[in-house]
Amino acid sequence: MNYKRLFDVLNACSMQRWAEILEPQLTDYFNNLNHGDYSRWKASIDNLPAIVPSQIILDSDSVQIGKAVDCPEGIAEELKQQLQVLMPWRKGPFNLFGCLIDTEWRSDLKWSRLEQHIKPLDDRMVLDIGCGNGYYGWRMLGNNARHIVGLDPTLLFYMQFSAIKKYIPEANIDLLPFGIQKLPDFKLNFDAVFSMGVIYHRRDPIEHVRQCLNCLKTGGELVLESLVIDDENIDALIPNDRYAKMNNVWAIPNTATMIDWVEQAGFQNARIIDVTQTTSDEQRQTEWMKFESLSDFLNKEDKSQTVEGYPAPTRAILLADKP
């Protein structure tokens, strides 16, 4: 991955100090990469057929790169085989030259719930913390953002992003294969920070929101999405062990607590713009994600509860401004 365009845009947006430390961080990361699947995943990306996309559509539900007719005879199957080496595909959908990557999540549904509420992204610098394979970043580019910087420590998601970006190398989007811990202590200058599906995995949620604040310029917008509980009597659900079979969920707030965390961290005008219970239309097993999914995480007799007896997954989206 070539990060030159990212460094250039960071320099142009008063974030040169970050660019300076990112360069050695990235070199160090890639020099020391010893994940057991890396060579296999890298080979699949290297072996992706060379096809030039005749169109790119980033403002539709599936991120579309090229058309089926761009694919020379016999190449479509090879493309699908290489992309399937990168399974499980969780966030999407993507459509590459007619090959629909039907991901576990219909991530477009969440995007459609928030798109009309956020500040326009035109010419905005956006940081997407815990961006997964970058699906939302492509949708932000479809909304004319200037540059998207995604942050995610899961190597497979970085490889999926790299596979997509191979067909649009000039796109103004980059993924840093790091967790939020690697963000600098000094202030950054983003117009918008997204943190979706991350806060309940963090042991100190207020500190997580403070880190988001530190990345924003004055007047910048936070988009925070979390699992929530619909219970006014407890501030947050602290699962004893697993929640919906996930073993790294620390605290699931109610919406009032979510607002409270964000205000305590220093944001203003915090408001919830959507609360939606997750359905099996939105999260399900597919040809591209063959492991267990939502229906396996719910009590078979009572779908309003998880298998552990907690309220079934419901998610809220909060917006707030940096004063």
Q: Which residues bind ligand SAM (CB under 6 A)?
A: 91, 107, 129-132, 151-154, 157, 179-181, 196-198, 201
Q: Which is nearer to ligand SAM, 153 or 266 (CB)?
A: 153
Q: Which is nearer to ligand SAM, 109 or 307 (CB)?
A: 109
Least distance in angstroms from the C-beta of 36 to ligand SAM: 17
Least distance in angstroms from the C-beta of 49 to ligand SAM: 27
Backbone angles phi, psi at 195, to 5 degrees: -135, 100
Q: Which is nearer to ligand SAM, 66 or 137 (CB)?
A: 137
Q: Which is nearer to ligand SAM, 211 or 257 (CB)?
A: 211
Q: Which is nearer to ligand SAM, 315 or 322 (CB)?
A: 315
Q: Which is nearer to ligand SAM, 76 or 109 (CB)?
A: 109
CA distances from 181 to 130, 136, 154 (A): 11, 21, 14
Least distance in angstroms from the C-beta of 184 to ligand SAM: 14
Q: Which is nearer to ligand SAM, 138 or 157 (CB)?
A: 157
Least distance in angstroms from the C-beta of 160 to ligand SAM: 10
Least distance in angstroms from the C-beta of 97 to ligand SAM: 24
Least distance in angstroms from the C-beta of 192 to ligand SAM: 14
Cα gap 130→259, rounded to integer Å: 20
Least distance in angstroms from the C-beta of 275 to ligand SAM: 15
Tokens for 207, please give them. 């500190």
